[in-house]
């Protein structure tokens, strides 16, 4: 079932908040090019991102405006947030950068989407040499971090769909099939459970599980393999991302031990979630469990990342991130232990911070599952 679209007012409020955050950061406004930010602020996603400039300009003292190629106007008007912005179009043969410059303050300081094409930024710099541009993610990392109730419901629905996919994938045969075959099953299951986009289907069997960047390959899964399954994508515009590690046949005592440590670390990370603590404390809580068990050197990545209209975004649960958790922030908690050339274990849930702690958006059990 597709959920009701966000309203024009929802988008207007998001834009307003961006302008406030920009102002608090000493900027005049934000410049948004097609991609996740534009989807977030307008619901508008051009069918193709091209050399023709499309740019949302949100700045204090002005109504939000979007400049775009005239041929894209009907789609932009029809977008859920299309009515929240004033559209200005340009036609092939016009100078779109001169038209864009008219919307900007000559000496303005703007945060611009990280994915803005260099050709557009360079042309804007030439058209308006007094203006200054900084990276959106580095100056306003928390722009999309706090989710509304409706966004959280979408993330929960995406999480439930990923959970349903997990419950089905553990029923398939693993031994004797390749990682790619199991990954294809996962892809089909996510789509069957309502995902419109699959971002990753990691199937890391045996030694491949010890490489957190391994996706899936031609290795044939064998009896005795630990298998890391990490998958997710977008459902109704919001992301899922969950990991379970399963074992083909009876695990060894060592495999069980490593698994239990990761499970305890994941729980410790979850238990640390509450408003007002720094993101790095969640990393520390999970990492300490693994370090105390003697496996610290085998946990080689941050504990988590935010999730929303993309599957990886701020806030990051990482040492050095001192920003504070606020109610409505959604992020992964995904500690792992990776024993080179042997096997890996990772357990990942998406968690939303509430007033009084964490709420898991993935709810499949975290005991070690035996598959065939
Ligand atoms: Zn084994
Ligand atoms: Zn993941
Ligand atoms: Zn993740």
- Tens digits of per-residue pLDDT, 266-277? 999 999 999 999
Distance 240 CA to ligand 1 centre (A): 28
Closest by CA to 324, choosing from 267, 286, 280, is: 280
Can you give the pLDDT at residue 213? 86
pTM, 2 dp: 0.94
Judge whether residue 24 has pLDDT over 80: yes
Closest listed ligand to the CA of 312? 3
Distance 290 CA to ligand 2 centre (A): 19
Distance 93 CA to ligand 3 centre (A): 44
For the segment 180-209, the average pLDDT, to the nearest whole number, is 98
For the segment 121-128, the average pLDDT, to the nearest whole number, is 95
Can you give the pLDDT at residue 83? 87
- The string of pLDDT tens digits covering residues 303-329 is 999 999 999 999 999 999 999 999 999
Percent of the chain with pLDDT over 90: 92
For the segment 74-81, the average pLDDT, to the nearest whole number, is 91
Question: Would you tell me the crossing angle of helices 253-271 and 279-292 to the nearest 10 degrees?
Answer: 150
For the segment 350-362, the average pLDDT, to the nearest whole number, is 98
Cα–Cα distance, 205 to 209 (Å, whole number): 5
Pairing of strands 109-112, 132-135: parallel
- The string of pLDDT tens digits covering residues 232-257 is 999 999 999 999 999 999 999 999 99
Closest listed ligand to the CA of 307? 3
Distance 143 CA to ligand 2 centre (A): 22
110: left (phi over 0), alpha (psi -120 to 50) or beta: beta
Judge whether residue 48 has pLDDT over 90: no
Q: Residues with beta carbon < 5 A to ion ligand 2?
A: 230, 241, 243, 348
Question: Residue for token digits 């979850």?
Answer: 270
Can you give the pLDDT at residue 5? 76
Distance 58 CA to ligand 3 centre (A): 31
Q: Residues with beta carbon < 5 A to ion ligand 3?
A: 241, 332
Cα–Cα distance, 198 to 39 (Å, whole number): 18
Closest listed ligand to the CA of 301? 3
- The string of pLDDT tens digits covering residues 151-179 is 999 999 999 999 999 999 999 999 999 99
- Output b/e per residue, 357-370; b: 16+ Cβ within 10 A: ebbbbbebebebbe
Distance 267 CA to ligand 1 centre (A): 23
Q: Residues with beta carbon < 5 A to ion ligand 1?
A: 224, 255
Closest by CA to 88, choosing from 105, 100, 104, is: 100
Closest listed ligand to the CA of 258? 1
Distance 249 CA to ligand 1 centre (A): 8
Closest listed ligand to the CA of 256? 1
Can you give the pLDDT at residue 49? 79
Distance 334 CA to ligand 1 centre (A): 21
Q: Which CB contacts under 8 angstroms, 24+ apart, belong to 114-121?
A: 115/33, 115/34, 115/35, 116/31, 116/33, 117/33, 117/51, 119/51, 120/33, 120/53, 120/55
Q: Helix, strand, coil proportions of the chain in percent (round to 5)?
A: 35, 25, 40
Judge whether residue 1 has pLDDT over 80: no
Can you give the pLDDT at residue 82? 85
Split at pLDDT 50, 70, 90, the class of 50 is confident
Q: Which domains does the chain have, with CATH numbers?
A: 8-139 (3.40.350.10), 149-371 (3.90.230.10)
Can you give the pLDDT at residue 3? 66
Q: What are phi and psi of 185, to 5 degrees?
A: -60, -45
Cα–Cα distance, 101 to 99 (Å, whole number): 5
Distance 243 CA to ligand 2 centre (A): 5
């Amino acid at each position: 079932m597709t959920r009701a679209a966000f309203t024009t007012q929802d988008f207007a409020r998001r834009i307003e908040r961006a302008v406030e955050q920009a102002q608090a950061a000493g900027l005049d406004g934000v410049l948004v090019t097609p991609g996740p930010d534009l989807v977030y602020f307008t619901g508008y996603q051009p069918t193709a991102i091209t050399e023709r400039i499309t740019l949302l300009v949100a700045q204090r003292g002005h109504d939000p405006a979007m400049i775009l190629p005239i041929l894209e106007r009907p789609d932009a008007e029809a977008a859920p947030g299309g009515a929240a912005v004033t559209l200005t179009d340009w036609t092939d043969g016009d100078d779109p950068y001169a038209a864009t410059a008219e919307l900007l303050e000559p000496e303005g300081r703007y945060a611009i989407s990280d994915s803005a094409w260099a050709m557009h930024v360079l042309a804007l710099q030439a058209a308006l040499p007094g203006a200054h541009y900084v990276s959106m993610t580095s100056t306003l990392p928390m722009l999309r971090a706090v989710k509304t109730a409706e966004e959280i419901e979408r993330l929960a629905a995406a999480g439930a769909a990923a959970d349903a996919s997990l419950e089905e994938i553990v029923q398939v045969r693993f031994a004797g099939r390749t990682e790619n075959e199991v990954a294809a099953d996962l892809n089909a299951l996510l789509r069957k459970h309502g995902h419109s986009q699959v971002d990753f289907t990691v199937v890391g069997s045996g030694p491949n599980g010890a490489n957190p960047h391994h996706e899936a390959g031609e290795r044939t899964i064998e009896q005795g393999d630990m298998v890391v399954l990490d998958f997710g994508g977008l459902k109704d515009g919001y992301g899922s991302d969950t990991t379970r590690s399963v074992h083909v046949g009876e695990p060894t005592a060592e495999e069980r031990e490593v698994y239990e440590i990761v499970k305890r670390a994941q729980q410790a990370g979850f238990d640390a979630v509450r408003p007002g603590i720094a993101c790095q404390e969640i990393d520390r809580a999970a990492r300490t469990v693994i370090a105390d068990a003697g496996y610290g050197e085998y946990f080689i990545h941050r504990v988590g990342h935010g999730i929303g209209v993309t599957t990886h975004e701020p806030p990051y649960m990482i040492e050095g991130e001192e920003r504070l958790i606020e109610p409505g922030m959604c992020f992964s908690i995904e500690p792992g232990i990776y024993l080179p050339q042997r096997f890996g274990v990772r357990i990942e849930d998406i968690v939303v911070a509430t007033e009084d702690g964490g709420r898991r958006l993935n709810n499949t059990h975290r005991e070690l599952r035996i598959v065939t």
